[in-house]
Amino acid sequence: MPVVIVKRNITITTQQSTQALLIALGTHSGLIWLADEAEPVIGLCPRWLVSQYAGLIQIQQRGHVGDRNGQLGTARVIEHDFAQAVQQQWHTSLLESWHTPELSGFCGGLMGFLGYDWAAAQHGVSAPDSSIACQAWLACYDIFLRKDGDGWHLYGSDCPSLQPLYDQIAACLRFAGTVRPSNDQAALDQPLPDFQIIEKFSPRWSFRQYQSAFLQVQDYLTAGDCYQVNLTQAFDAVVSGRLLNRLDALLDLTRAPYAGYLAIQPQHELLSCSPELFLSFLANGEVVTRPIKGTQPRHTDPEQDQALRQQLALSEKDQAENLMIVDLLRNDLSKTCTEVKVP
């Protein structure tokens, strides 16, 4: 039978922050928040999840229909690679028959992350020094919240057996708004452990190692073996508390139009933000990318701020780098798209 995604009769208009809303929903599995400019989405209680830990592929299905928190069932390990496992789940879950009447934008589907280590492995490059246990994580969401105007609206499958789960989500949303929580939500009144850095961040490479890598990149560029290299390294720190407690502060600091949060496990959270759109897939089949090269600091004085903006606009170096990355992405998109246009 086709799955019909409908707007549930659950709407909340709240002045609470995104952080407070996610904390209120924190007891539900697979909690994820993605902000795409003015269209934020919160996914929770996914239908299924495919993840990769240290080379092992795991698949989990949503638990029994009466579960009020939509917890995922016991993971089963398979021998497929990650992409094959996701594709198999996609085709066997009747997603092709999903129906979303009069719904544009995100209307259910995949959300998650693909790590750099996983991407490198697709090209035969290993990352032996990686401390990230989870390399890839994709879940299928047929239950999600979208912010339309000033309110958050719940969307979900029209399956009657999911009503207890929707009632639980509604209780959490009331908690995030002005209505006090019911007795079974009282635990949510306890704040998350504050996020603190116990030992400061330190680089994995010494200066000598970084210098050696930098010189090797220069040799690659001079020889014409590569077009562009983002030379980066990981930084490690000892921390305590929940990273979610710093979401509002990060958004206030950066004002980034693109951001995301994912709670893989209580001790494994992802929080990111960026001013740059990498790829956007539109409903009409178009793919949009908006690469950025060149930055300048902002200034509190309007005249100096405008001067910095003008300096960036007239920078030959930054313009050349921007043209380079635009050409690189144009070439990459031409491999899978029938037509590529550059404004």
**Spatial separation of the C-alpha atoms in residues 162 and 70, rounded to whole Å:** 9
Q: Which of 231, 177, 236 is nearest to 203 (CA)?
A: 236
Which residue matches tokens 């929080």?
Answer: 271
Torsion angles phi and psi, residue 62, rounded to 5: -60, 140
Contact 279, 336 (CB under 8 A): no
**Spatial separation of the C-alpha atoms in residues 265 and 257, rounded to whole Å:** 26
Torsion angles phi and psi, residue 301, rounded to 5: -80, 120
Tens of pLDDT, residue by residue, the chain (343 residues): 556 666 776 666 666 788 888 988 888 889 999 998 778 999 999 999 999 987 789 999 887 655 556 677 777 887 778 999 998 888 877 655 566 656 677 888 899 999 888 888 888 887 655 556 788 999 999 899 988 777 788 888 888 888 888 888 888 877 665 433 334 444 444 566 788 999 999 998 999 999 999 999 999 999 999 877 888 888 999 999 889 999 999 988 888 899 999 998 877 899 999 988 888 887 788 899 998 888 888 888 999 999 999 999 899 988 888 898 899 899 989 999 999 998 8
**Spatial separation of the C-alpha atoms in residues 197 and 237, rounded to whole Å:** 7
- What CA–CA distances, in Å, run from 93 to 87, 88, 89, 96, 204? 10, 9, 6, 8, 42
